[in-house]
Amino acid sequence: MKICVLYGTETGNAEMLAEDIQSALEDDHDVTCRNLADTDPAALDGETFHVVVCSTYGDGDLPASAQPFADRLEDGAHDLSGVRFAIFGLGDAEYDETFTQGSEKLAAKFKARGATQIGARLTHDASGDDLPEDIALPWITDILANMSVEQEEG
Amino acid sequence: MAGKIAIVGAGPSGCYVAQAFLKADPGLEVDLIDALPVPFGLVRYGVAADHQGTKGVMRQFARIFERQGARFFGNVHIGRDVTLKALREAYDAVVLAAGLCEDRRLSIPGGDLPGVHGAAALTRALHEHPQAGALPALGPHPLILGNGNVAIDLLRLLCKTSEELNGTDLGPGPSAWLAGNAFEAITIVGRSPAARAKFDPVMIRELGKLGNVSIKVEGAGRSEEPEEQKRLEALAAIDGHGSGPLKVTFRFELRPLSVEGKDRVAGLRVEGPNGEETVRASSVLTAIGFDSNGDLDRATLLDEAGEREAGKLADGLFAAGWFRRGPRGTIPDSRTEAQATAAAILEEMAPDPARAGPAIFHKLENVVDYAGWQRIDAAELARSTPERCRQKLPSTGELLRAATQQDIDQ
Kindly determine whether residue B332 and residue A64, on different chains, have CB atoms separated by under 8 Å: yes
Angstrom distance (rounded) from CA B61 to CA B94: 19
Is it the case that residue A77 has pLDDT exceeding 90?
no
Contact between B211 and B161 (Cβ < 8 Å): yes
Contacts of B15 (CB under 8 A, 6+ apart): B32, B39, B40, B60, B61, B64
Q: Which of B52, B60, B201 sits opposite A12 (nearest CB)?
A: B60
Instruction: Give the CATH superfamily of B4-100+292-404.
Output: NAD(P)-binding Rossmann-like Domain (3.40.50.720)
Kindly determine whether residue A95 and residue B206, on different chains, have CB atoms separated by under 8 Å: yes
pLDDT digits (tens, 9 = 90+) for B39-94: 999 999 999 999 999 999 999 999 999 999 999 999 999 999 999 999 999 999 99
CB atoms within 10 A of CB B276: 11
Kindly determine whether residue A59 and residue B201, on different chains, have CB atoms separated by under 8 Å: yes
**What are φ and ψ of residue B216, in 5° steps?**
-130, 135
Q: What is the pLDDT of residue A153?
A: 77
Contacts of B397 (CB under 8 A, 6+ apart): none
- Based on DSSP, count helices (H) and strands (E) in chain A, helices before strands: 4, 6
Alpha-carbon distance B234 to nearest alpha carbon in chain A (angstroms) = 10
Q: What is the pLDDT of residue B222?
A: 94
Q: What is the pLDDT of residue B410?
A: 43
Comparing alpha-carbon positions, the chain B residue that sits nearest to A64 is B332
Secondary-structure class of domain B107-289 per CATH = alpha beta
How many CA atoms does the CB half-sphere of A51 hold within 13 Å?
29
Mutation choice for A interface testing from B202, B229, B231, B330 by most A CBs within 10 A: B202
Count, residues in chain B: 410
Q: What is the pLDDT of residue B328?
A: 87
Kindly determine whether residue B56 and residue A126, on different chains, have CB atoms separated by under 8 Å: yes
Contact between A123 and A89 (Cβ < 8 Å): yes
Q: What is the pLDDT of residue A97?
A: 86
Q: How many residue contacts between A and B have a Cβ separation below 8 Å?
A: 53
Is it the case that residue A154 has pLDDT exceeding 70?
no
Tell me if the domain spanning A2-147 has CATH number 3.40.50.360.
yes
Alpha-carbon distance A68 to nearest alpha carbon in chain B (angstroms) = 15
Which residues numbered 72-131 in A keep a CB inside 8 Å of some CB on B?
A: 92-95, 97-98, 125-127, 131
Q: What is the pLDDT of residue A80?
A: 95
Angstrom distance (rounded) from CA B51 to CA A29: 38
Q: Report, as an integer, the average pLDDT of A28-36.
A: 97
Q: Which of B16, B53, B202 sits opposite A127 (nearest CB)?
A: B53
Three-class DSSP category at A91: strand
Extents of the domains making up chain A? 2-147
Which residues numbered 310-339 in B keep a CB inside 8 Å of some CB on A?
A: 331-332, 335-336
Q: What is the mean pLDDT of chain A?
A: 94
Count, residues in chain A: 154
Q: Is A133 on the interface with B (CB under 8 A)?
A: no
- How far is CA A106 from each of CA A8, A74, A81, A91, rounded to the nearest angstrom? 9, 11, 16, 14
Q: Which residues of chain B have pLDDT under 50?
A: 408-410
Any idea of the CA torsion for A104, A110, A116, A121, to the nearest 10 degrees? -20
Extents of the domains making up chain B? 4-100+292-404, 107-289
Three-class DSSP category at B19: helix
Taking contacts as CB-CB distances below 8 angstroms, the residues of chain A near B60 are 11-13, 16
Mutation choice for B interface testing from A94, A125, A129, A131 by most B CBs within 10 A: A94
Which helix (H) or strand (E) is B93 found in, with range?
strand B93-96
